[in-house]
Chains A and B, each alone.
Chain A
Amino acid sequence: MADSGGMPCPYRTIARTAYWRDSVAKILPEDLDPVLNPRFTFSRDTKIATAGSCFAQHIARYLKTVGDNYMVTESGHPSMSDSLKATYNYGTFSARFGNLYTTKQLVQLFDRAYGNFTPVEQPWGTANALIDPFRPAIQPNGFASQIEFDRDREAHFAAVRTMFETMDIFVFTLGLTEGWRSIEDKAMLPVCPGCGAGGSFDPEKYEFVNEKVSDVTANLHAIIERIKSVNSNAKVLLTVSPVPLVATYSPHHALTATTYSKSVLRAAVGEIYDIYDHVDYFPSYEIITGAFNRGAYYGDDLRSVREAGVFHVMKLLFKHYLGMELTSPAGESAPAASDPQLKPSGKAENRASSYIAKVVCEEELLE
């Protein structure tokens, strides 16, 4: 009905998915599906690279179980067993870059791989156990010598370049706005030195940063343009990690700091989504954090994501982007796919045995 003789209320014609009551409050938690109109889909041949915070590892874990879409350009020597590869983080990420918690890390990884940025930060650790400050958890017990460190990093950068240049889809999970960087050249580190992952803290060398929306947006612009410069066909799928901060170095409460950080990331992604047609957003953040599930997707620590939550995310990702129906989570067995041609690989490292989904997360060393 028109009010006062004017045009009908514009909300009368919008989709039911635009209404909270119909699309959230009335829906069974496990049936909630906030994904609308994906901008692209994955085919069986699509090469998908993943990077980002700890939560990105779940996407890789699920992709690995159902087919060959998951792209790994630094896969380890063939003589290594699957479990040994997992121990040394070959395949945990598309290349052995470790967790990239901040968008600045991602931009700088690209620049380092292409020789456009050489941080002054030197390896941490001892002469026979060198730790890479930019991927401190990648090599258990460190590298045995400077030669090994240098050669491994060289091979790593080559793998990163191959990833950027040959991937079809880049899935990046934004994790944090807080981080630590070198004062001298602003090289962003994944962890604070001296907090469990190596290095030693020196306030004359390192400074705390907490990125703003404008920082994250600028970084996302930068990485999208850089990727375009080496691979004009690559599409980008952005997600925001739902995992709260382990600890904040800001003067705020951990809860408000987490809200700030995730809000900044989510807002920046929203801005970027509106600018680039080849960039899409997948709402894993909303699926896990949404009030509709009444916190059921978090573990007892209210931070770790339960496998049920990961499964909800992956179920929708596979449904909308791969056209597949996942019927069981990877936590109990390899996920069952409705497409008979996409059989689970059954590899041991792909079977998460834990109730709480386990991932490699250096930031947890803060606790």
Chain B
Amino acid sequence: MYANFRSGSLSINAGLLSALHRAGAKPDTDVLVSGVQGNHYNAIALLTDGAPFDIHIPGWPRMPADDVPLLPLAVAEEILANELKEFQLFASKQRVLGYRCFMHLSAPPPVPDAEFIRSKLPPLPSGEPPEISSADLRLKLWTMQQKMVRTAVEGHGGILLGPPAGTQDAEGFLKSEFWKDSVHANVNYAALQLNQIHAVMLGLQSDEGQQHG
């Protein structure tokens, strides 16, 4: 059964469902795959909104920008945690609802190229060109978000599917062949995610076979 966590109705799009079936997923696997609420780090800092800032994560390989205010890390964590409250609630429901397996697709890493992001954004109401936050800040916030989401998902028995292998550059940004728009990855990235899901589900079937074999 592929079910919506709230209404119980089908929530996986038909294409994905079909791919899962072709891949051998059994319809009664009781799996929930979610990809919700990945954009919070962008909501906080895709654009500077006239108030650019940076943060410093101890051990981060690069120094924070020295021409913008430095937001205390704890403050940034609290802002992000507040944004993720609804996701925390969502994650906490999964075990209660009794899915055998709960997989969550993490948000794709940020695109480093500000010009590319700007070219994909709709015009601002002010008519001013959008000012994109520094790539390194967005990567730091994405990393923090990953950590929080992982804690939430794994804390409730789920599996966090991180960026598929080979989709990140040496610094951790999304490679250009997977860019779609300012915040989303493209179908090539999605195909790799399907492979990730497939691998997990095959593992479930294998387990099932061992249990019943």
Contact = CB atoms under 8 A, between A and B. Distances in A.
Interface stretch (A137-145, A163-171, A253-261): A137-145
A84 B71 CA distance: 13
A151 interface: yes
Contact of A147 (B51, B63, B69, B79): B63
Nearest to B59: A145
A148 B70 contact: yes
Contacts of B157: none
Interface in A127-174: 127-128, 139-141, 143-145, 147-148, 151-152, 155
A77 B63 contact: no
Given A145-B56, A147-B63, A84 B78 contact: yes
B198 to A, nearest CB: 38
Contacts of B14: none
A246 interface: no
Contacts of A78: 49, 51
Nearest to A90: B75
Nearest to B66: A151
Contacts of B44: 79
Contacts of B72: 88, 139, 143-144, 148, 152
Contact of A144 (B58, B78, B79, B82): B58
A144 B73 contact: yes
A144 B70 contact: no
B130 to A, nearest CB: 16
Interface string B69-112: 11111110011001000000000000000000000000000000
Size range of the chain A interface in the assembly: 20 to 34
A80 interface: yes
A143 B74 CA distance: 8
Given A79-B51, A145-B56, A88 B63 contact: no
Given A84-B75, A147-B63, A151-B64, A77 B56 contact: no
B53 interface: yes
A54 to B, nearest CB: 23
Interface string A67-103: 0000000001111110010011000000000000000
B74 A139 contact: yes
A79 B63 contact: no
Contacts of A76: 75
A80 B56 contact: no
B75 A77 contact: yes
Nearest to B49: A78
B129 to A, nearest CB: 20
A72 to B, nearest CB: 15
Interface centre among A76, A87, A144, A147 (most CB of B within 10 A): A144
A127 B58 CA distance: 10
Nearest to A147: B56
Contacts of B51: 77-79
A77 B73 contact: no
Given A79-B79, A81-B82, A144 B74 contact: yes
Interface string B42-56: 001100010101001
A141 B75 contact: no
A12 B122 CA distance: 80
Interface centre among A79, A80, A81, A88 (most CB of B within 10 A): A79
A128 B58 contact: yes
Contacts of B53: 77, 79
B78 A152 contact: no
A140 B74 contact: yes
Contacts of A144: 56-58, 72-74
A74 to B, nearest CB: 10
A51 B5 CA distance: 52
Contacts of A141: 74
A123 to B, nearest CB: 14
A155 B70 contact: yes
A129 B79 CA distance: 19
Contact of B56 (A84, A88, A140, A148): A148
B165 to A, nearest CB: 31
Contacts of A151: 56, 64, 70
A148 B45 CA distance: 19
11 contacts: A77-B71, A79-B49, A79-B51, A87-B78, A88-B72, A88-B75, A127-B58, A140-B74, A144-B73, A147-B64, A151-B70
Given A79-B45, A80-B79, A81-B82, 7 more contacts: A78-B51, A79-B44, A79-B49, A88-B72, A141-B74, A144-B58, A145-B73
Interface of A: 76-81, 84, 87-88, 127-128, 139-141, 143-145, 147-148, 151-152, 155
5 smallest CB-CB distances across A and B, nearest first, come from A151-B70, A144-B73, A145-B58, A147-B56, A78-B51
